[in-house]
């Protein structure tokens, strides 16, 4: 079984245009993500998927591999599916966020391990929430699970609601999980989910994984104890340099 790591990367970010090329300690963000992903023991190949020649030229400069994709894709998942039409022979895909320059390769390996179970269709990572700030932050998607560790629902709101406890005591009353935005797919399921129309829950929460759940797909989760550091805005980058 062969696993392909894909890093979707676009230049025209609304909140931070050109962020894949921003310099972090002497290396571009996309180079740092690529190098971290290449340390994973689970990936047979790593490739950047982009629609921008500037990003392609940067990947070529540092010796990485890239695939040019359409500029009409609405998500990284769609971009991953196009890559699979150009690269053959892979059974699974790991979709690695292009704005996490310090992603730990152990997280990639943990996610890939989900596919040791042949019934797994889709997979993602979760992490226990430990602070009230994260718990109530609507920019951080939360997830609730069934007894098999599969996702039941994702929401920007705090879920579940603890009826018989004060909000300030919720973390003592229940283990809450946040979603870590790295995905794994089987080749077959990746091709299927990109053909699905946008769903009502997806539009309501602006979370693409809800489209998959609404259509009956199962999403296996694994719990990581490692934190991630995504750079969505210039302010996020400034915080790195101050830390």
The pair of three-digit structure tokens given for residue 41, joined into one six-digit string: 């023991």
The verdict on residue 112 lying in a domain is no
pTM, rounded to two decimals: 0.94
Q: Are residues 133 and 93 in the same domain?
A: no
**3-state DSSP assignment of residue 129:** coil
Q: Are residues 144 and 220 in the same domain?
A: yes
DSSP state letter for 141: -
Q: Are residues 79 and 128 in the same domain?
A: no
| pLDDT at residue 14 in the model | 72
Q: CB neighbours of 174 closer than 8 A, spacing ≥ 6?
A: 160, 162
Looking at the chain, the whole-number percentage of residues with pLDDT higher than 70 is 98
- Check if the beta carbon of residue 184 is closer than 8 Å to that of residue 95: yes
Q: Which residue's structure tokens are 């245009």?
A: 17
Q: Which residue's structure tokens are 């894709």?
A: 73
List pLDDT tens digits, range 6-64: 999 998 777 788 899 999 989 999 999 999 999 999 999 999 999 999 999 999 999 99
Give the number of other CB atoms < 10 A from CB of residue 120.
Answer: 19
The verdict on residue 70 lying in a domain is yes
The pair of three-digit structure tokens given for residue 4, joined into one six-digit string: 């392909």
| pLDDT at residue 241 in the model | 64
The verdict on residue 123 lying in a domain is yes
Q: Are residues 81 and 129 in the same domain?
A: no
The domain total for the chain is 2
Q: Rounded CA gap, 96 and 148, in Å?
A: 24
**CATH number of domain containing 8:** 3.90.550.10
Q: Are residues 2 and 99 in the same domain?
A: yes
Q: Are residues 129 and 211 in the same domain?
A: yes
DSSP state letter for 197: P
Q: Are residues 213 and 145 in the same domain?
A: yes
Judge whether residue 243 has pLDDT over 60.
no
Nearest CA to 132 out of 173, 97, 104, 96 is that of 173
Greatest CA separation for the chain:
58
Residue 163 burial (C-beta neighbours within 10 Å; 0-12, 13-18, 19+) = exposed
From 53, 71, 103, the end of a domain falls on 103
Domain of residue 37, residue span: 1-103
Q: Rounded CA gap, 220 and 27, in Å?
A: 34
**Please, what sign has the CA dihedral across residues 50, 56, 62, 65?**
positive
From 53, 70, 103, the end of a domain falls on 103
List pLDDT tens digits, range 51-74: 999 999 999 999 999 999 999 998
| pLDDT at residue 16 in the model | 81
DSSP state letter for 137: -
- Check if the beta carbon of residue 17 is closer than 8 Å to that of residue 23: no
Q: Rounded CA gap, 15 and 12, in Å?
A: 9
The verdict on residue 110 lying in a domain is no
From 74, 103, 132, the end of a domain falls on 103
């Amino acid at each position: 079984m062969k696993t392909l790591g894909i890093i979707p990367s676009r230049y025209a970010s609304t909140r931070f245009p050109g962020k894949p090329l921003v310099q972090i300690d002497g290396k571009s963000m996309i180079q740092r993500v690529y190098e971290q992903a290449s340390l994973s023991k689970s990936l047979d190949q790593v490739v950047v998927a982009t629609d921008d020649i500037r990003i392609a030229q940067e990947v070529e400069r540092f010796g990485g591999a890239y695939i040019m994709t359409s500029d009409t894709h609405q998500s990284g998942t769609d971009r991953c599916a196009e890559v699979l039409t150009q690269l053959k022979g892979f059974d699974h895909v790991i979709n690695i966020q292009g704005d996490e320059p310090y992603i730990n390769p152990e997280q990639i390996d943990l996610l890939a391990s989900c596919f040791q179970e042949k019934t797994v269709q889709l997979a993602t990572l979760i992490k226990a929430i430990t602070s009230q700030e994260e718990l109530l932050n609507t920019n951080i998607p939360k997830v609730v699970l069934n007894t098999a560790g599969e996702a039941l629902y994702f929401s920007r709101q705090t879920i579940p609601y603890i009826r018989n406890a004060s909000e300030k005591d919720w973390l003592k009353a229940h283990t809450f999980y946040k979603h870590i935005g790295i995905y794994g797919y089987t080749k077959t399921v990746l091709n299927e989910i990109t053909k699905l129309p946008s769903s009502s829950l997806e539009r309501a929460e602006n979370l693409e994984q809800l489209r998959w759940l609404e259509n009956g797909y199962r999403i296996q989760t694994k719990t990581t104890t490692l934190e991630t550091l995504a750079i969505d805005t210039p302010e996020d980058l400034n915080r790195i340099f101050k830390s």
